[in-house]
Structure 1
């Protein structure tokens, strides 16, 4: 099950072995207290799982650490396997010719991010690229020294990411590992609690900075420029560590082990 609580309930009811794939167990940053009863309800089913697969690297470098919480306290520490990211970890070479900001998410989220990012980047001397994540007719506009695309193909996105000096994004788990794979220092503008938790861990590891408005984004870019060697060194170290893991292959291996145990039971 990949986040499907109903599937876990059915597995428990029919006594089937179950594997839960998640990067969110007991969030500890910005989680609304009103949602805690639902969180505890979900944990009941997690405790009955045969295995919990986290598509992240093991501690102390786990990016989603603050979204997992105290696994011992939850009662699932012995079931958790950190298999590595599902994002392709093949090494990528590139340059440092621009700042890249791939915007994604619901309409309201994208609007908020563009209102923060574009005015700041358009005033910089350095070239910048922004993707609005709006599928449909492809359009390109120039705002100051910032080139804005309505959307990018996967190949274009990969090229802009590979040649970025700095990446600005919201802190989604997959994009965190995409940025780490390219070994790029970053600035996160979280719009959801789980994104803030990921961003906080990246910041604590010296790979990223957090910004939530135009003023803070401007300051963060300046700080990155002054201390870029520090951030590059930290993110390269994390990137090298993350590449040791083949997340998809390891996850398949663990799922097959659980399935075989179910057959032999």
Structure 2
């Protein structure tokens, strides 16, 4: 903090934008510098297993409240995915602005289809995403594998993206139990049950999101916005952390997806989505129409307005 204080005193900032750095937030307040705190959490609901974290959350929320404005990186209510992670008290509501998701909406320049895209074309499958840092990614993968070993999954096609730039992960498992490279599976027209991919190109990811029936995730806020808001696909959430649980529970309450905390619940969720697919599509259509993916642009306008007023 000493070096950060010296940096503040030297640079004489006109405005400060913080994304999770509460120390910087406090330094700005103490120097009378307008500060913007970008977040999708304030006072998350804690489940029984983590109630001991509540004192820490109170401390963090008090530091966030010192910002001149709190910018929520989500759509405005009632379309706020992180609603159950906010719980703002009345005394700071006036300084809260919902700026929208910081999403990547750029169009993918379409090139010729890859063997992976050709292999999945026209197939009925679920998309299972592994995301997060290494412990989160690995834990998510372990939970997915537990589901895949259930007999109900014997005919449920799935594509698993590992979010690891490692070509050795890429493989296709046929319904015959044999393993193939992606190119080999496409050439031989293998009737596949599972495809593992280390890292998807943007074009491949968009093809899979467009073609899948549902997406299984651990509850990442950014990913949920991309899947439900931009691609209008129902989610099945297997949470790792409480903030994940809250966001997936919100989606379930809005009939945009299903919370599943065990392998049996995942299988039941797949069946539920398949049986009620039109209902989920209808709710997702409304959510997508009200999805705000202009977080970066809206934040830039707020910064510009503050700087203009300081001239």
Structure-2-length-normalised TM-score: 0.76
Tell me the residue number matched to 1:186: 235
Secondary structure, aligned partner of 2:213: strand
Contact map agreement 1:50 1:258 (CA 8 A) in 2: no
Alpha-carbon deviation of 1:254?
A: 1.3
Structure-1-length-normalised TM-score: 0.89
Tell me the residue number matched to 1:241: 290
1:30 aligns with 2:47: yes
CA, structure 1 residues 13+235, in 2 after alignment: closer, same or farther (shift >3 Å)? Answer: same
1:85 aligns with 2:115: no
**Could you tell which deviates more after superposition, 191-200 or 41-50?**
41-50
Secondary structure, aligned partner of 1:52: strand
Alpha-carbon deviation of 1:83?
A: 1.4
1:44 aligns with 2:62: yes
* Structure 1 residue corresponding to 2:194, chosen from 146, 161, 165: 146
Larger Rg: 2
Secondary structure, aligned partner of 1:20: strand
Tell me the residue number matched to 1:163: 211
Contact map agreement 1:52 1:79 (CA 8 A) in 2: yes
CA, structure 1 residues 6+127, in 2 after alignment: closer, same or farther (shift >3 Å)? Answer: same
Tell me the residue number matched to 1:113: 140
CA, structure 1 residues 42+126, in 2 after alignment: closer, same or farther (shift >3 Å)? Answer: closer
Q: What's the Cα RMSD here?
A: 2.3
Contact map agreement 1:55 1:85 (CA 8 A) in 2: yes
Alpha-carbon deviation of 1:121?
A: 4.5
Contact map agreement 2:216 2:235 (CA 8 A) in 1: yes
Secondary structure, aligned partner of 2:284: helix
Alpha-carbon deviation of 1:120?
A: 3.4
1:137 aligns with 2:186: no
* Structure 2 residue corresponding to 1:76, chosen from 85, 92, 103: 92
Alpha-carbon deviation of 1:184?
A: 0.3
Alpha-carbon deviation of 1:164?
A: 1.1
Contact map agreement 1:189 1:211 (CA 8 A) in 2: yes
* Structure 1 residue corresponding to 2:224, chosen from 176, 186, 204: 176
Give unmatched runs, 5+ long, in structure 2: 1-17, 109-120, 176-192
Contact map agreement 2:131 2:163 (CA 8 A) in 1: yes
CA, structure 1 residues 119+215, in 2 after alignment: closer, same or farther (shift >3 Å)? Answer: same
Contact map agreement 1:135 1:150 (CA 8 A) in 2: yes
1:255 aligns with 2:286: no
Contact map agreement 2:252 2:258 (CA 8 A) in 1: yes
CA, structure 1 residues 3+149, in 2 after alignment: closer, same or farther (shift >3 Å)? Answer: same
Q: Deviations over 1:28-71 (max 9, x none)?
A: 14283332222222233333311111111111111000000133
For 1:119 and 1:191, locate their aligned partners in 2 and report how far apart those are by CA, in whole Å. Answer: 15
Q: Deviations over 1:178-222 (max 9, x none)?
A: 101100011011101111111011111000001122111111111
CA, structure 1 residues 43+134, in 2 after alignment: closer, same or farther (shift >3 Å)? Answer: same
For 1:97 and 1:138, locate their aligned partners in 2 and report how far apart those are by CA, in whole Å. Answer: 25
